[in-house]
Amino acid sequence: MKVVRFGVDKMAEQKKSWEERLAGEPDELTIDFVESLSIDKRLYKYDIVGSIAHAQMLAQQKLISKDEFKRIKDGLIEISQKISEGKFKFDKKLEDIHMVIEAALAAKIGEAGEKLHTGRSRNDQVATDIRLWMRDEIEILQAKITLLQKQFVKLASRYVEDVMPGYTHLQRAQPITVAVYLLGFVEQLERDFIRLANCRSAGSGLNISPLGSGAIAGSTLPLDRKSTAKQLGFFDISYNSIDAVGDRDFCAEFIFDCALIATHLSGLAEDWIIYSSCEFGFVRIDDSFCTSSSMMPQKRNPDVLELIRGKAGGVYGSLMAMLTILKALPSGYNRDMQEDKVHVFAASDTVSQSLDIVRAVVAHTKFDTKKISAGLEEGFLDATALAEYLVGKGVAFRKAHGIVGLLVAYCEKEGKKLAELGLDEFKKYSPAIEPDVYERLGAANVVSKYVTDGAAGPKQAKEQIAYWNGQLAQR
């Protein structure tokens, strides 16, 4: 058989699989508008893996010969290698990665390559490819989440005893350790990790195989769908061919998971943008993750963090776009679904890149504990602890709350802190207050008295660090 250089000459002669049905050539505007190759070519490995599994099943069912299967498999592996080496020419006239690979295979091995699409439609093919890609992508994102978690734990271990203000409503609330503040982000990321795991889990909509559902109704050929599902590592097959080709729930779920990761990273970015300002001065972000001003030479702008915050909006946009694409679609496959990959890939790429850069920022950020300590006693951070002190003396909490509120108002009027009041001044507001009250006042004293599990004190910080070191070491 004459060997033809695939990927260029022969492919240029190929027609689209549906082109015999229509008269004339597609308009150039149509070619450009309907092609998805520019987006879905990144699925080539998964398209080839799925095609090999499908071909093996066809051989098992005697729909192709063993020799044809071998030639198909060898040809697909060579095509994959050519693509990975950048030696393959993509032709957008063939619309998508599925038709490009099939055309290249037929150009290389002849009629055997034309048998590959037996019992298969691009509808069930792409639904399989995106699932295979997403399973791998989830593992990559989970690995990046774990690395970021480890970086937070490492940073937290440096600040176990250091105290900072905790904020609610962006107002000073109660004293916390820097370590526990940082470990809060580890908790957020853990929820992200678990959500992704659930998205990928055995019983999820993602981990079932639609391959063999065909265009919408299955096939009159004796396909063994469970064989291809097993080869491709799916938990099960889909059991309704109409829904199988139209299901993109898993895409919306995946983008939602990405959106929450972006939310958490954006929250961190917001904190550190504020904390790195002169007004706070809590953190120092390394120069390598800042920029300066084209006009103001003194500026150190946390642009990386601002972009993390801004890029979250793009991920939200991908989620809304995905949901809008799916809204009120008729049953079965519709070409609208071609747009799913635009938004799935965009959301995943943004989150993947954001996780990388945030991990680098965290690794090179320091807390200015001297600056934090200098103003730590501002804002009556010990007020809640004083109320709880009164509870310990038998005062009802609501009454204790009111007493401390009056004491704070008195301190503001006198320009004093709670710890600076004399015992006689305390007694005017509550006879229950004794000399031991001073052991409960001041930010450092307060954090040392936290006793509840998961609280923001040094003891709990050590416990949380030990816990996370153990958990993350198992991944």
Catalogue the active-site residues: 169, 293
- H helix or E strand, kind and range, residue 36: none
Measured in whole angstroms, the distance separating CA 198 from the mean position of its chain's CA atoms is 13
- What is the CB neighbour count within 10 angstroms for residue 428? 13
- What is the CB neighbour count within 10 angstroms for residue 249? 13
Measure the N-to-C terminal CA separation of the chain; round to a whole number of Å.
Answer: 51
Taking the C-alpha atoms of residue 162 and residue 457, their distance in angstroms, rounded to an integer, is 9
- H helix or E strand, kind and range, residue 366: strand 365-367
Residues 6 or more apart in contact with residue 297 via CB below 8 angstroms? none
The torsion angles phi and psi of 464, rounded to 5 degrees, stand at -65, -40
Could you tell me where the beta strands, DSSP code E, fall in 208-274?
A: 208-209, 236-237
At 329, the amino acid letter reads: L
Q: Is 53 exposed, middle or buried (0-12, 13-18, 19+ CB in 10 A)?
A: buried
User: Tokens representing 193?
Assistant: 């990790």
3-state helix, strand, coil in the chain (%, to 5): 65, 5, 30
Strand, helix or coil for residue 418: helix
